[in-house]
């Protein structure tokens, strides 16, 4: 046995990850793919990698030094189950199977439990950064048994992205914790992208700037507190001209956004946990709305505002939009970290939220300067009740909130949809409210379903005899 690690599944992600692994000192990589032609193609294209060719899982197992470690990069779902079953047949106690695909965390929990008794370690590892990240350094979010991390940690650290001399990898928690955190990462990514799109739309329709001019705005924003990969690529996309028509590319791309499902998982999971991730949910819904082309076509005649909308001072407006974007982004991250905390509590994971922010600083799609602030916030106070209450974010929201309100009002008056900005503001105002109208909802629930309520002035549970004499009784 000569190989130090195996990669199973050699489509784009697996091939790139295998090449990344092979390029690091000390690694010899065995590769296996169900269709051997793909294995041979990869080996032929990259002789420099020194791959060990294997054509069956048995050959793969035989080629690996003990404890064996194999990373699976196949299609999430049934394919992953099939490969795990095959590997479990040929691996031995102490060996490690890593699933680097985009698995749903509950599948990871199930898979880990199913093979635990064999003594083989199963690690669900979130991998972010797309194809480019897999090749040059992704952000890695491994879960699974802590002891497997002793073997796996150094291998993953060798291929991870690096932020301020630290590899972007940490043992997130047991069983499905890594895939859970990766899921929330993707949810936050949806929110970030939606907020950026709203900012672009408002600026374009409010100031009449061209996409290329708005690219300049984003480029400038990228040197401030919003500095991030997504802002950077936004400028690039807006600057792109379509070869066929000479128009800005963004004007010829159909405005129907696709989705692979991880944003929806984040929201579905949050609903189950009772965590309000409204910013993320609006981002998922905004994509769904955009793709309902028939319905949008049918609704095109619905009336909008009667008054023409003009922005008096474009420079001030652009700055207001920047502040609204920053404030809404803080809300989205705060909600995402709430979901991580709730998931950890539900599933018994000990997740260091500051470390999660740390490993998102490079390699992944939401990498941003901002994440350093999140790490600092949790370092100062690991029990922070909400991220947005940390001094830095509290101050930023305080400074941005007037501009944020102006932008939301303007969007509503102008008839421009800004679901991310407006729902984040509503969340902010809901969270800071001394009194919410949910008292009335409790009254309604008690009226039609005798669901009872608590009182502000006394302990206990109460019910009003709505269909009787309307007196109040104790329902303890
Ligand atoms: P795909 O998701 O397209 O999967 C193709 C691979 O799965 C091929 O190697 C294929 O083998 C293998 N496979 C299938 Br399909 N069914 C199989 C089975 N029953 N048994 C064995 N192998 C099977 O590849 P990808 O786009 O490289 O993505 C790999 C994973 O990474 C996925 O889980 C995906 O969600 C995730 N991903 C992550 C990111 C990211 O940014 N983190 C980006 C893209 C993808 P064959 O060649 O024999 O058909």
pTM (2 decimals)?
0.96
User: 37: burial class by Cβ within 10 Å (0-12, 13-18, 19+)?
Assistant: exposed
The tokens describing 446, both together, are 């008690």
**What contacts 90, CB < 8 A, 6 or more positions away?**
57, 58, 60, 61
Annotated active-site residue 209? The verdict is no
What does the DSSP 8-state code read for residue 30? E
Q: Is 12 annotated as a binding residue?
A: yes
Cα gap 80→97, rounded to integer Å: 11
pLDDT tens figures, 376-404: 999 999 999 999 999 999 999 999 999 99
Annotated active-site residue 189? The verdict is yes
**What contacts 152, CB < 8 A, 6 or more positions away?**
69, 96, 98, 123, 142, 144
Q: Is 287 annotated as a binding residue?
A: yes
What are the CA-CA distances from residue 342 to residues 272, 280, 347, 348 (Å)? Answer: 10, 16, 9, 10
pLDDT tens figures, 11-20: 999 999 999 9
What does the DSSP 8-state code read for residue 450? -
292 CB near ligand 1 (under 6 Å): no
The tokens describing 412, both together, are 């509503």
Check: CB of residue 297 under 8 Å from CB of residue 186.
no
Out of 86, 189, 282, 339, the active site residue is 189
Would you say the ipTM is above 0.85?
yes
40 CB near ligand 1 (under 6 Å): no
Check: CB of residue 358 under 8 Å from CB of residue 376.
no
Check: CB of residue 174 under 8 Å from CB of residue 148.
no
Each residue's pLDDT expressed in tens, for the chain with a length of 476 residues: 799 999 999 999 999 999 999 999 999 999 999 999 999 999 999 999 999 999 999 999 999 999 999 999 999 999 999 999 999 999 999 999 999 999 999 999 999 999 999 999 999 999 999 999 999 999 999 999 999 999 999 999 999 999 999 999 999 999 999 999 999 999 999 999 999 999 999 999 999 999 999 999 999 999 999 999 999 999 999 999 999 999 999 999 999 999 999 999 999 999 999 999 999 999 999 999 999 999 999 999 999 999 888 899 999 999 999 999 999 999 999 999 999 999 999 999 999 999 999 999 999 999 998 999 999 999 999 999 999 999 999 999 999 999 999 999 999 999 999 999 999 999 999 999 999 999 999 999 999 999 999 999 999 999 999 999 999 999 98
How many contiguous H segments (helices) and E segments (strands) does the chain have? 20, 11
């Amino acid at each position: 046995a000569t190989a130090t690690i195996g990669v199973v599944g050699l489509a784009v992600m697996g091939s790139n990850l295998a090449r990344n692994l092979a390029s690091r000192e000390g690694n010899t990589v065995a590769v296996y793919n169900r269709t051997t032609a793909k294995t041979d193609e990869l080996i032929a294209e990259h002789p420099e990698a020194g791959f060990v060719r294997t054509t069956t899982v048995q050959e793969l197992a035989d080629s690996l030094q003990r404890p064996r470690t194999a990373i699976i990069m196949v299609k999430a779902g049934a394919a992953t189950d099939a490969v795990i079953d095959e590997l479990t047949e040929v691996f031995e106690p102490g060996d490690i199977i890593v699933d680097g695909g985009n698995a749903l965390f509950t599948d990871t929990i199930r898979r880990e439990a199913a093979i635990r008794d064999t003594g083989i370690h199963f690690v669900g590892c979130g991998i972010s950064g797309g194809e480019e990240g897999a090749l040059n350094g992704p952000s890695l979010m491994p879960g699974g048994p802590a002891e497997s991390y002793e073997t796996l940690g150094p291998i993953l650290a060798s291929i991870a992205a690096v932020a301020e001399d630290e590899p972007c990898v940490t043992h997130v928690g047991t069983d499905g914790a890594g895939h859970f955190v990766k899921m929330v990462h993707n949810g936050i990514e949806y929110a970030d992208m939606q907020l950026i799109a709203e900012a672009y739309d408002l600026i374009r329709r409010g100031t009449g700037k061209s996409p290329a001019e708005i690219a300049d705005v984003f480029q400038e924003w990228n040197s401030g507190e919003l500095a991030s990969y997504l802002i950077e690529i936004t400028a690039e996309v807006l600057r792109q001209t379509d070869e066929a028509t000479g128009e800005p590319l963004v004007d010829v791309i159909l405005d129907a956004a696709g989705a692979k499902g991880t944003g929806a998982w984040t929201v579905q999971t949050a609903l189950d946990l009772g965590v309000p991730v409204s910013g993320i949910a609006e981002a998922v819904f905004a994509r769904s709305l955009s793709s309902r082309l028939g319905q949008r076509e049918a609704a095109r005649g619905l009336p909008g505002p009667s008054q023409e909308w003009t922005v008096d001072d474009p420079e001030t407006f652009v700055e207001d939009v920047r502040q609204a974007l920053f404030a809404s982004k803080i809300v989205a991250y705060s909600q995402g970290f709430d979901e991580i905390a709730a998931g950890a509590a539900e599933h018994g994971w000990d997740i260091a939220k500051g470390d999660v922010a740390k490993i998102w600083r490079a390699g992944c799609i939401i990498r941003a300067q901002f994440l350093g602030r999140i790490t600092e916030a949790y370092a100062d106070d690991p029990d922070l009740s909400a991220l947005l209450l940390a001094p830095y974010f509290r101050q930023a929201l305080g400074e941005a909130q007037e501009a944020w309100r102006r932008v939301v009002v303007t969007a509503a008056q102008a008839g421009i949809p800004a679901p991310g900005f407006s729902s984040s503001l509503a969340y902010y105002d809901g969270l800071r409210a001394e009194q919410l109208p949910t008292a009335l909802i409790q009254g309604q629930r008690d009226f039609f379903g005798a669901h009872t309520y608590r009182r502000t002035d006394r302990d206990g549970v109460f019910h009003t005899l709505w269909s009787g004499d309307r007196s109040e009784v104790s329902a303890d």
